[in-house]
Each structure stands twice: as C-alpha cells, then as structure tokens.
C-alpha cells in the first residue's frame, strides 16, 4: 500500500466547504465524484470575484471591464493549454461539457470525412456520451459503429482491437478511464495502433482529468475531451483539445456571433483558430473557475493525489471484499479510484437509499453505460467514486452502511 503520509487529506478537506456539513445527522461521506466533484474555496472565490469585480462580455468590448474579463478568459485558455501540454492555444476550445466536445468532433469532423462503409471503433467501456453521437453520425453518413470487447475483468482487449483495425477504420473513440468500473485503458498504445491504420483518435478524458497528468502530445491524441465539473471546477464548462491541422480543416459546429470573419447575406467567412468553434457568448466565468481548479490540483501535484487515491482504492477494495454476497464489478489491473458493486438479492437503488441515511453519497444505476452493464449481465450497480478529498473514514462509513443494508434485507 502506498505511503499516504506525504499527502495531508485533512488539510485538503478543509479546502472544501461542503465537508463542514452533515447529512441526516451524520458526517458527509461523499463518494460520488465520478458524477460531479465538489468545489474548493479557491474556485468558489474565483467565480465570485469574476462576477463581482470584472464581469463583462468578452472579445468585443473596448471598455475596461470587457478587457479585464477577456484577459481572464483567455488566460484560462492558456492555463488549460499548459495543463494538457497542447502546442497552441488554438488547439483549446471551450464548450459546455465533454458531451458537447464529442458531438462537435462527431458532427464537424465525422460528418465531413465519413462515407458509407467506413468504421468507427468504440469500446464496450464507453459512456453513452461517447456512443450516441457516433451512432447519430453513422446514420447520416452510412458509416458503421463497432465496439472493441472487454474481458471478464473489464480490461480493454488489445488483441481484439488490433484485429478489428483495418483500412475501413476512420475514427477510434475510446475512454481513458471507465466512469462505471474505473478501468484505465492503454490509450497511448490504442492511439499508436489507430494511427498505423490511418485513423484519427478521440479520447474521452472526463474521468482521467481529476486523477492523472495528461500530456496530449506525448499520448499522440488527435482529439481529447474533458469536463470542468469533474475536475473540481464549475458546471457548464468543457474542453476540446484538437490538433491544429485537423481543426483548421473542420467546418464550424455552431453558427452565431464571435465565430465569424465577415457576414453578408450572400456569404459568411469564419474566424480562424479556436474562435471558429465558440459561437455566441462563451462560458466566461466557468472558464475562469476551471483555470483556478486546474491550478489548485497542480499545486497539490498529481503524484501525491495518485498515491493517495490508489491507497484509498486498495483499502476500499479490501474492506468491501470482506462483505459476504458483495460482488465487485470490474477488477482491471489498472484502475482509477472507482468501485462498482452489487449485493445479492438487493437492488442497487435500495443500497443507495439506505446508505444515504448514513450520510454516504454513492451513485446507483447503469451509469450511462448500459452496454457495459449488459456485458456483466447486471441491470445496474452501486458505485463509489473517490477523489483527493476522501479519507478512510469515508470508506468505513460506506462499509458500515452496506452492512446495514444486509441486515435490513436479511
């Protein structure tokens, strides 16, 4: 087990105001960060300052507040660029969430480049947000969506993937980390093999961004997406990284103000760089909050965060594994701090309702990953997803609450 002494989790918890409250008279054990993470004071204060001290619309104003707001907004883009090690700020596009980022690529790149018979490879691990947009584009273009299988442990099957790659493969869209079972996929190898086959690759990094350092140039990703609210930032902000040469050749996804060069009723020309894909008033304050969240986690350091989370995952796996009739779904060798489980004879919704009375917040359901649930032949699971602010007391509260579920159901 990793040494957790170099990471002061109690100090981190004090940075998050929500942990000062109780739920049903019990200390809050928040184990649903995979759905949406809590926000540190630094982010809350940055959002408040942006609204209270510098707020105005960006890019088009010549007055002081517009200039100040623009500087903060574009400064946030540079923060994200540096965080991902993108080559240019024009490779960073702000969207409202990762789902919109994926749809942007599907509609702009996919609709433009796919033709009947072309293949889009996904995986059985995918969130619905990385399935449905590709199905919609396949219907419009005549392309075919296929899914790379996983094994009984929830591992991405590389041999099957290599067998499925071929001259018809045009797009590979794969999650970096499964939101439902925590599997970490070998994205660098996935990307390299896809490029050898002549395909472009989109990586859904929504679950990876809170837990690990991401270097898009080292990975070789063509597109990489993540969402702000899972990385301790505000809702309403997502990121699309795209290689500049690909973005330059792609048509706009949405039309409106700020993404144009010249507009006449006869013809419109479009802005260059990232502006082409950011129509209308952007998520100004949300981007500022996201940049603050990124600075916050970088100040702590992903090495410390990762060691803490992996130690917590090992502890949770050990403790939950001692409960009779509890089955952990997905036990890949490389996992993020996510545990999905079932209890014999108890519906996951009942588990979630009862553990909530103990102040424990978990997620129950199919986690927007129904093909993955089908693979494991379960309708739903209970999911505990951990983050940098969780501690062993949270896990102990979960274990005791699950035991109380067993007592109630006999």
Q: Is the pLDDT at 215 greater than 60, yes or no?
A: yes
Residue 108's DSSP bridge partners are: none
How many Cβ atoms sit within 10 Å of the Cβ of residue 80?
24
pLDDT in tens, 187-214: 999 999 999 999 999 999 999 999 999 9
pLDDT at 339: 98
Q: Residue 377 has which token pair?
A: 């032949």
DSSP type of residue 106: I
Query: Which CATH class for the 9-37+301-409 domain?
Result: alpha beta
CA distance 329 to 405: 18
Q: Distances from the Cα of 140 to the Cαs of 136, 254, 263, in angstroms?
A: 7, 18, 29
Q: Residue range 332-361: average pLDDT?
A: 97
Provide the percentage of residues in the chain whose pLDDT is more than 90. 96
With contact defined as beta carbons under 8 Å apart, do 174 and 164 qualify? no
Q: Please give the mean pLDDT across all residues of the chain.
A: 96
Active site residues: 368
Q: Residue range 250-269: average pLDDT?
A: 92
pLDDT in tens, 32-71: 999 999 999 999 999 999 999 999 999 989 999 999 999 9
Q: How confident is the model at residue 1 (pLDDT cuts 50, 70, 90)?
A: very low
Give the closest residue to 283 by CA, choosing from 90, 41, 100: 100
pLDDT at 43: 98
Q: Residue range 369-383: average pLDDT?
A: 97
pLDDT at 4: 43
Q: Are strands 22-23 and 26-27 parallel, antiparallel or unpaired?
A: antiparallel
Q: Where are the domains of the chain?
A: 9-37+301-409, 44-298
Q: How confident is the model at residue 2 (pLDDT cuts 50, 70, 90)?
A: very low
pLDDT at 141: 98
pLDDT at 349: 97
pLDDT in tens, 263-318: 999 999 899 999 999 999 999 999 999 999 999 999 999 999 999 999 999 999 99
Q: Residue range 226-252: average pLDDT?
A: 98
CATH level 2 (architecture), domain 44-298:
3-Layer(aba) Sandwich (3.40)
Q: Residue 336 has which token pair?
A: 């993020």
List of residues 6+ apart from 105 with CB closer than 8 A: 202, 223, 225, 240, 242
pLDDT at 6: 78
């Amino acid at each position: 087990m990793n040494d957790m002494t170099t990471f002061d989790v109690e100090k981190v918890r004090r940075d998050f105001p929500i942990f000062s409250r109780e739920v049903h008279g019990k200390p809050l054990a928040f184990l649903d960060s995979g759905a949406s993470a809590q926000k540190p004071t630094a982010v809350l204060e940055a959002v408040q300052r942006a609204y209270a001290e510098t707020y105005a619309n960006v890019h088009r104003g010549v007055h002081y507040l517009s200039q100040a707001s623009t500087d903060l907004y574009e400064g946030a883009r540079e923060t994200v660029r540096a965080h991902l090690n993108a080559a240019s700020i024009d490779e960073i596009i702000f969207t409202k969430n990762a789902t919109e980022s994926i749809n942007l690529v599907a509609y702009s790149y996919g609709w433009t480049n796919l033709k009947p018979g072309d293949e889009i490879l996904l995986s059985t691990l995918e969130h619905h947000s990385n399935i449905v947009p590709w199905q919609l584009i396949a219907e419009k273009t005549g392309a075919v969506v296929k899914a790379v299988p996983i094994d009984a442990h929830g591992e991405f099957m590389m041999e099957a993937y290599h067998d499925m790659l071929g001259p018809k493969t045009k797009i590979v869209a794969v999650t970096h980390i499964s939101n439902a079972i925590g599997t970490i996929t070998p994205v660098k190898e996935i990307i390299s093999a896809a490029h050898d086959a002549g395909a472009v690759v989109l990586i859904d990094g929504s679950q990876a961004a809170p837990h690990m350092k991401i270097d898009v140039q080292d990975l070789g990703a063509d597109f990489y997406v993540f969402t702000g609210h899972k990385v301790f930032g505000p809702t309403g902000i997502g990121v699309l990284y795209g290689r500049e040469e690909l973005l330059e050749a792609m048509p706009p996804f949405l039309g409106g103000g700020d993404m144009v060069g010249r507009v006449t009723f006869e013809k419109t020309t479009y802005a260059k760089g990232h502006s082409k894909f950011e129509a209308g008033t952007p998520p100004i304050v949300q981007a500022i909050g996201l940049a603050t969240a990124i600075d916050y986690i970088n100040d702590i350091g992903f090495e410390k965060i990762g060691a803490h989370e992996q130690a917590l995952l090992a502890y949770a796996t050990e403790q939950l594994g001692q409960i009779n009739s509890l089955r952990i779904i997905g036990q890949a060798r490389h996992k993020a701090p996510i545990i999905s489980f079932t209890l014999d004879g108890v519906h996951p919704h009942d588990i979630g309702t009862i553990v909530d009375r103990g102040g424990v917040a978990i997620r129950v359901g199919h986690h927007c990953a129904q093909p993955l649930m089908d693979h494991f032949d379960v309708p739903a699971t209970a999911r505990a997803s951990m983050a940098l602010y969780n501690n062993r007391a949270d896990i102990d509260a979960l274990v005791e609450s699950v035991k109380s579920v067993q007592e109630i159901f006999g």
